[in-house]
Amino acid sequence: MPHEFDTSYATDPWLTLCKNYPDSSVYPAADFRVEWGPVFHRGRLDGTARVVVIGQDPGQHESIGRRILIGEAGQRVQGFLARLGIDKSYVMVNAFLYSVYGQSGGQKHKDDPGIVSYRNQWLDPLLLNKKVQAVIALGALADRAYQAWSATQPVRAGQLAYQHITHPTQPISAGKGKPAAIAALTKTMLQNWNAALTQLHAAIKNPDRVRALVPYGSSFKPGDDVAIPEMDMPAGTPAWMRSVDAWATRSGATAAAKRATVVITVPKNAREW
Ligand code: URA
């Protein structure tokens, strides 16, 4: 069976944007993991997207897979879109091209003109496309990115349904390893997501698949996370890099070693030997 893969950077404006991305003179190496390179997007750049998702910044899975939102946050978003009947007509960009390093890097640079102007060069062609009906921002920095864009395009912004939802891994980061805290934060997040789903479900007129809205429960259930489609990834990406199993972790005895090291492990169920 032939494989599908993403070929979308071969035509403009994406070709030019990928040739001319901002480097460490715009994204300081003290606050961004510029050494892992920029990760630009995931999803349809061919004008067929009906939903645009704005995430925050790439993590270790994205640094290796070279597409955004493919790790745990991405699997959760994929499941969120599936509840809206959106299986392929989406496109995702992050607020930041590079992974944020440290607690405050994102906050510190959220309004930097070089970061905002390059990001708006992606958001303009994506959001001015009249096929897009809804925009979803994951977390406060993504919301900030959308607000910065909408201030430049107020007429178009007024036509778009917009929901700022809790970032999918906020319960994990804010819960600090405490299971009860993570469970409580997840429950609150899913209430927030259910409210957004109601608005978005009404706003998306022609989904890929008409689906009655089924809200989340108070915790994630099997099937709520959805694997990343093959068509979103570079050619030859192994299936386990799109699966719901985590396969990349940062590792190192010092902060510098950890920043320099991502350990990749083929999940047990993908070992064909
Ligand atoms: N979280 C995001 O917001 N974006 C990514 O690419 C990965 C995790």
In what helix (H) or strand (E) does residue 53 lie, and over which residues does it extend? strand 51-55
Element (H, E) at 135: strand 134-138
What pLDDT, on a 0 to 100 scale, did the predictor assign at position 245?
A: 85
State the closest ligand 1 atom to the C-alpha of 72, by its place in the atom list counted from 1: 8
Residues 6+ apart with CB under 8 A from 118: 17, 21, 22, 26, 97
Spans of the chain below 50 pLDDT: none
Kindly give the distance from the C-alpha atom of residue 177 to the centroid of ligand 1, in angstroms, as a whole number: 19
Asked whether the CA dihedral 58, 60, 66, 70 is positive or negative, the reply is negative
Predicted confidence at residue 109, as pLDDT, reads 97
Q: Which atom of ligand 1 is nearest to the CA of 58?
A: 6
For residue 55, the ligand 1 atom closest to its alpha carbon is 3
Q: Could you read off the pLDDT of 66-106 as tens digits, one per residue?
A: 999 999 999 999 999 999 999 999 999 999 999 999 888 89
Q: What is the pLDDT of residue 39?
A: 98
Q: What is the pLDDT of residue 185?
A: 98
pTM above threshold 0.85: yes
225 residue type, one letter: D
CA of 218 to the centre of ligand 1 (A): 23
Pocket lining for ligand 1, CB < 6 angstroms: 55-59, 62, 68-69, 71, 73, 94, 138
Tokens standing for residue 145: 């990115």
Model confidence over 117-133: pLDDT tens digits? Answer: 999 999 999 999 999 99
Cα-based angle 196, 38, 261 (whole degrees, multiple of 5): 100
